[in-house]
């Protein structure tokens, strides 16, 4: 499904990632104290609980999605449910159009149409705007129950204490027997062309190792772990205690390059001192890769730049883990996997070259903004090709300020602990993080969204997809239990 790069498109799929953040809360199985109706002439009563893969239908317990563990989830105060089981329990029907990603729900005389990742919904051809978009979780369509219930004249009750939703459907629509499984032909298909983005809501050393292992990537030879060592005194860089287990598990070397803007990491000796002061030399070897100058590498699919200047020591590594702190950035709008792989791996002169869209190797100022965005995508592509694709990408979403870790005195974070996301596709990964931001309440995300849009930051992802670096559509899979 195609995405646009305006503010609205950012809303479209973001609900996926942050909704998954709440799906795995520890909850008890539904039991006792619930209204049950056994007469088919009265009404159908369904009870579902957030995070619980079982529901009751007229008092009888059953799996919502046998064998798959699908459960209702919460996002921004809205309950999203696996809709097929509910519709069939009350006697409705569900039709799926994979080409348009449209779900059509029919109950008695009413028809509701919803599109995955879109906030536009239709009730009998009357358009409405949803608070949250329908989404795909583990190849199942998850729908906002409140809109559906009101459209079909169901009654919905919410118990905050138990996080239980009870649905009362009017008589006259229930089937002869409750289905025990969703027919496979109505499952949201897993398009092999779309990459997977894995997510955990835990931000711990153990979770970081777990999500890396989930990627199925075997780091081989000399392993570079590219991350920011952080600008003193107060930047929000990833702390050594968080990354230590992962770096040591792959016998990795933390790699960086000198900055082009001055500061405490502008030359090699100072940069090594910062790495030591911030605790990185205690957990692993550290390599400032441009201490021996630049290495020119080609960019096969470049349209803005055709070569990339990286730290010369990149030649010493066989595989790479991009470990980025997702946050805002004063010039790029946001920083994630693509920025980490482009500006982060570029030598000091290479940083100038990317910033100016190939016009200068001595200053990073004065370049065209869109050319800068395009050059970042192209530089990343060059590094991936140079390493023959032996790269994986992890973004940590915590302490999310509008300012980068290259800012020693960043603005206070408005978004805090979201989770860790990982993929073999840098475009999908950054897009998933962007989607989280756009679907977070504006009281937390507004300043970052403004920063992204003021720098046309989404153009980086647009161009990255255009040149074949990756895909902006993806499947999100939670690894939380």
What are the two backbone dihedrals, phi and then psi, of residue 351, each rounded to the nearest 5 degrees?
Answer: -60, -45
Mean pLDDT of 85-109: 87
What are the two backbone dihedrals, phi and then psi, of residue 196, each rounded to the nearest 5 degrees?
Answer: -100, 135
Q: What's the CATH fold of domain 196-478? A: Rossmann fold (3.40.50)
- How high is the pLDDT of residue 42? 61
Distance, CA of 30 to CA of 48 (rounded, Å): 8
- Considering only residues 120 and 4, tell me which one the structure prediction assigns the higher pLDDT: 120
Mean pLDDT of 317-333: 96
pLDDT surpasses 80 at 191: no
- How high is the pLDDT of residue 298? 97
- Total residues found in the chain within this entry: 481
- How high is the pLDDT of residue 339? 97
The first and second tokens of residue 134, run together, are 């329908």
CA atoms within 13 A on the CB side of 20: 31
Q: Quickly state the pLDDT bin for 50 (edges 50, 70, 90).
A: confident
Q: Are 352 and 363 in contact (CB under 8 A)?
A: yes
DSSP for residue 71:
-
β-bridge partners, 43: 170
Window from 16-25, 119-128, 205-214, 451-460 with minimum mean pLDDT: 16-25
Q: Quickly state the pLDDT bin for 86 (edges 50, 70, 90).
A: confident
**pLDDT tens-place string over residues 432-451:** 999 999 878 888 899 999 99
Q: Quickly state the pLDDT bin for 89 (edges 50, 70, 90).
A: confident
SS3 242: helix
- How high is the pLDDT of residue 340? 97
Distance, CA of 351 to CA of 363 (rounded, Å): 9
**pLDDT tens-place string over residues 141-190:** 788 888 888 898 888 888 888 888 898 887 654 433 333 332 333 333 33
Distance, CA of 431 to CA of 80 (rounded, Å): 22
What are the two backbone dihedrals, phi and then psi, of residue 120, each rounded to the nearest 5 degrees?
Answer: -90, 135
CATH architecture of 7-186: 2-Layer Sandwich (3.30)
Which is nearest to 405 in space by CA: 334, 311, 321?
Answer: 334
Distance, CA of 153 to CA of 413 (rounded, Å): 42
> How remote is the C-alpha of 279 from its chain's centroid?
29
Mean pLDDT of 223-234: 95
**What average pLDDT does the chain have?**
84
Distance, CA of 155 to CA of 166 (rounded, Å): 8
**pLDDT tens-place string over residues 241-256:** 999 999 999 999 999 9
- Considering only residues 466 and 116, tell me which one the structure prediction assigns the higher pLDDT: 466
Show me where the domains of the chain are located. Answer: 7-186, 196-478
Furthest CA-CA distance within the chain:
81
> How far lies 281's CA from each of 238, 240, 242, 313, in Å?
14, 9, 14, 18
**pLDDT tens-place string over residues 56-69:** 998 888 888 877 77
Mean pLDDT of 7-28: 39
What are the two backbone dihedrals, phi and then psi, of residue 189, each rounded to the nearest 5 degrees?
Answer: -70, 145
- Those residues whose C-beta lies under 8 Å from the C-beta of residue 8, and which sit 6 or more positions away, are 119
Mean pLDDT of 215-237: 94
- How high is the pLDDT of residue 75? 64
pTM for this entry: 0.64
Q: Are 322 and 396 in contact (CB under 8 A)?
A: no
> How far lies 241's CA from each of 283, 284, 362, in Å?
9, 12, 36
- How high is the pLDDT of residue 108? 87
What is the 3-state secondary structure of the chain? CCCCCCHHHHHHHHHHHHHHHHHCCCCCCCCCCCCCCCCCCCEEEEEEECCCCEEEECCEEEECCCCCCCCCEEECCEEEEEHHHHHHHCCCEEEEECCCCEEEEEECCEEEEEECCCCEEEECCEEEECCCCCEEECCEEEEEHHHHHHHCCCEEEEECCCCEEEEEEECCCCCCCCCCCCCHHHCCCCCCCCCEEEEECCCCHHHHHHHHHHCCCCCCCCEEEECCCCCCCCCCCCCHHHHHHHHHHCCCEEEECCCCCCCCCCCHHHHHHHHHHCCCCCCCCEEECCCCCEEEEECCCCCCCCEEEEEHHHHHCCEEEEEEECEEECCCEEECHHHHHHCCCECHHHHHHHHCCCCCCCCCCCCCHHHHHHHHHHHHHHHHHHCCCCEEEEEEECCECCCCCCCCCCCCCCECCCEEEEECCHHHHHHHHHHHHHCCCHHHHHHHHHHHHHCCCHHHHHHHHHCCCCCCCCEEEECCC
**pLDDT tens-place string over residues 355-412:** 999 999 888 888 899 999 999 999 999 999 999 999 999 999 999 999 988 888 888 9
**pLDDT tens-place string over residues 303-323:** 999 999 999 999 999 999 999
Report the sign of the C-alpha dihedral through residues 44, 50, 55, 61, in that order. negative
Cα 253-302-393 angle, rounded to 5 deg: 30
Window from 15-24, 276-285, 370-379 with minimum mean pLDDT: 15-24
Distance, CA of 393 to CA of 320 (rounded, Å): 9
């Amino acid at each position: 499904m195609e995405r646009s790069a305006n503010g609205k498109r950012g809303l479209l799929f973001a609900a996926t990632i942050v909704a998954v953040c709440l799906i795995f809360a520890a909850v008890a199985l539904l039991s006792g104290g619930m209204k049950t109706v056994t007469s088919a002439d009265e009404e159908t009563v369904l009870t579902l609980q957030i995070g619980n893969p079982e529901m009751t239908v007229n008092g009888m317990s059953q799996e919502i999605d046998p064998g798959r563990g699908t459960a209702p989830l919460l996002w921004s105060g809205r309950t999203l449910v696996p809709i097929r089981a509910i519709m069939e329990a009350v006697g409705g029907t569900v039709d799926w159009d994979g080409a348009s990603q449209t779900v059509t729900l029919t109950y008695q005389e009413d028809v509701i149409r919803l599109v995955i990742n879109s906030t536009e919904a239709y009730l009998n051809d009357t358009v409405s705007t949803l608070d949250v978009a329908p989404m795909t979780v583990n190849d199942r369509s998850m729908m906002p129950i409140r809109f559906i219930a009101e459209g079909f004249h169901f009654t919905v009750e919410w118990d905050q204490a138990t996080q239980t939703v009870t649905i009362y459907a009017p008589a006259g629509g229930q089937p002869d027997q409750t289905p025990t499984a969703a027919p496979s032909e109505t499952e949201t298909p897993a398009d092999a062309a779309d990459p997977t983005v894995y997510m955990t809501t835990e931000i711990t050393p153990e979770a970081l190792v777990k999500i890396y292992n989930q990627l199925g990537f075997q780091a081989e030879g000399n392993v570079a772990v590219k991350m920011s060592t952080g600008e003193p005194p107060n930047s929000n860089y990833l702390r050594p205690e968080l990354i230590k287990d992962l770096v040591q598990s792959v016998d990795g070397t933390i790699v960086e390059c000198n900055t082009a803007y001055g500061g405490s990491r502008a030359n090699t000796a100072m940069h090594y001192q910062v790495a030591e002061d911030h605790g990185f030399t205690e957990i692993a070897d550290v390599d400032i890769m441009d201490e021996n100058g630049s290495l020119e590498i080609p960019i096969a699919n470049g349209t803005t730049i055709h070569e990339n200047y990286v730290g010369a020591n990149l030649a010493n590594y066989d595989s790479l883990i991009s470990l980025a702190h997702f946050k805002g950035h004063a010039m790029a709008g946001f920083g994630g996997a693509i920025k980490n792989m482009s500006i982060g791996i570029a030598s000091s002169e290479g940083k100038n070259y990317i910033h100016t869209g190939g016009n200068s190797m001595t200053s990073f100022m004065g370049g065209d903004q869109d050319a800068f965005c395009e050059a970042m995508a192209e530089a990343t592509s060059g590094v991936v090709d140079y390493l023959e694709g032996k790269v994986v990408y992890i973004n940590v979403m915590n302490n999310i300020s509008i300012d980068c870790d290259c800012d020693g005195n960043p603005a206070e974070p408005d978004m805090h602990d979201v989770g860790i996301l990982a993929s073999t596709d840098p475009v999908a990964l950054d897009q998933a993080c962007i989607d989280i931001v756009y679907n977070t309440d504006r009281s937390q995300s507004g300043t970052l969204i403004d920063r992204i849009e003021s720098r046309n930051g989404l153009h980086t992802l647009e161009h990255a997809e255009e040149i074949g670096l990756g895909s902006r559509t993806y499947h999100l899979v939670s690894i939380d239990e």
